[in-house]
Structure 1
Amino acid sequence: MNISVVKTILLKENFPGENIISKSFSSHSDLITGVYEGGLKIWECTFDLLAYFTKAKVKFAGKKVLDLGCGSGLLGIMAFKGGAKEIHFQDYNSVVIDEVTLPNVVANSTSEDEENDVNEPDVKRCRRSKVAQELCKFRFFSGEWSEFCKLLLSSEKLFEKYDLILTSETIYNPDYYGPLHQTFLRLLDKNGRVLLASKAHYFGVGGGTHLFQKFVEERNVFEMRTLEIIDEGLKRFLIEMNFKYPS
């Protein structure tokens, strides 16, 4: 997977998100509630989840996948490379989607072999056609989770729910647990799974794995299972969620 495009975008002059970045720096925080929710940073737990996909041989082939709170879109890109039939990317900030997620997805939509220079016009045309077909698998969304749900579920076409929802470091703030739980409830297929990566505790904002688990258990909608605990530095968890009572 190629993440060099993310580094290039964030370092370039006149980056459209520089106002967000400057606000983040001036407030000494990676997060500004209601303004910036951390999408310009690749968070630690994202790499934990990517490693788990490989180690556990998670099957993406033929599945509809949502990368929720996607940032650079690495989780969704991995699903694409695993043969997912459709991948949606959602982030709070539109500048993250426009300037980071989308370019990174496009950069990773061809194999390394296809990136080599090819002089034959017919081969070039074929390659462009293939890339265009692959890009049709992707959709990109920005905004709050409640509005995102409303948009999908109010469309004229019957919405096909997600087989897999992938999300990393989205449970840092307890204020967001209600909308997040509702997003899972409304958008996950009855036989689908959520794969979630999180730190045990987020100092300063108060959220974390144990608090979210308590929130979920109180609502009695989802089962939660710990897939892996990474006990290096701040303890981190990989969690699977599915409906308790599929109907």
Structure 2
Amino acid sequence: MTTSLCLEHSGDEAPKKKDYSSTCYIRQSNFEFCGYSLKINRTLGANLGVSAYVWEAGIALCRYFEKEKISFTGRKVIELGSGTGIVGILAALRGGNVTITDKPTILKQINSNVSTNIPTVCRHRLKVRPLTWGEDHTDFPADYDFILGSDIVYRSDTYPALIETLRHLANQRTTIYLASEFRKENGCLSFHELLLPEYFNCKVVDKSMDNDIYVYKMTKIDTSPADGLHM
């Protein structure tokens, strides 16, 4: 997530209902991707911070999946720092066996969106679990086909934990898609251009120059000893 202004949509509806507390309300935004109509609830006033918004980078990643006709059918997928769950929900609708993750306080919002958008017959293919980078990432396996993240590169003090988590979750066959909006104050450029290349092969596969959003496709660098070499 990020600290800039949230993305506004003409499809925003009036507040739907009170929730969490008397000072909270849920606002619903409508999106169209890959032939699916998504209704994304955002809980405002519940101290969810940046997780209460749908950010431009998340929209960009969903549009990339649509443009490239990427299918997740039968593939094991995990989304990091999901916020509203929009990216992971789309991956599940596109056939993936998806685990959507974020901090424990955000999961109620994600579960609301899962209930709204995922048909009951498909619900078994989607899990919502707490994951704090650098702390409980080892509770998750390292056999994912895809790792997804949008606008999760926004605070330099979280970068070591994020890289540690990515390194644990990924194997050499894992494809990682990260969509990031570059801002001068968040050190995003150095993360993608200097820190990540130490451990991952990184390639820009899509970009929007209007708002400096880049979609990266990444694979883990094989650090195992070469065959036939002995110490």
Structure-2-length-normalised TM-score: 0.75
Cα distance in 1 for partners of 2:99, 2:131 equals 14
* Larger Rg computed on CA atoms: 1
Paired residue type of 1:229: K
- Cα distance per residue 1:185-243 (max 9 Å; x no partner): 1011321111011112253xx222344321123x3x211100112011x3111111101
User: Aligned pair 1:144/2:156, yes or no?
Assistant: no
The question of whether the paired residues in 1 share the 8 Å contact of 2:172 and 2:221 is answered with no
Deviation track 1:11-66 (CA, whole Å, cap 9, x = no partner) reads: 52243594995586xxxxxxxxxxx5521111111110100001111121111001
What's the CA shift for 1:71? 1.1
Q: Which residue of 1 aligns with 2:165?
A: 183
Any idea what the Cα deviations from partners look like across 1:144-198, whole Å, max 9, x if unmatched?
Answer: 212331322xxxxxx3521101100011111111111111110113211110111
Q: Which moved more, 1:189-198 or 1:14-23?
A: 14-23
Gapped runs of 5+ residues in structure 1? 25-35, 111-130, 153-158
**The one of 77, 101, 105 aligned to 1:90:** 101
Tell me the residue number matched to 1:174: 156
Number of residue pairs matched by the alignment: 196
Summarize the alignment of residues 51-70 of structure 1 with structure 2, pairs less than 5 Å apart.
51-70=63-82
> Structure 1 residues 22 and 37 mapped into 2: Cα distance closer, same or farther (>3 Å)?
closer
Matches within 5 A, 1:216-235: 216-217=196-197, 219=198, 221-232=199-210, 234-235=211-212
Q: TM-score, normalised by structure 1?
A: 0.70
Matched letter for residue 87 of structure 1: V
Gaps of 5+ in 2: 1-8, 26-42, 225-231
- Partners of 1:242 and 1:202 lie apart in 2 by 26
Pairwise CA RMSD:
2.7
The one-letter amino acid of 1:213's match is E
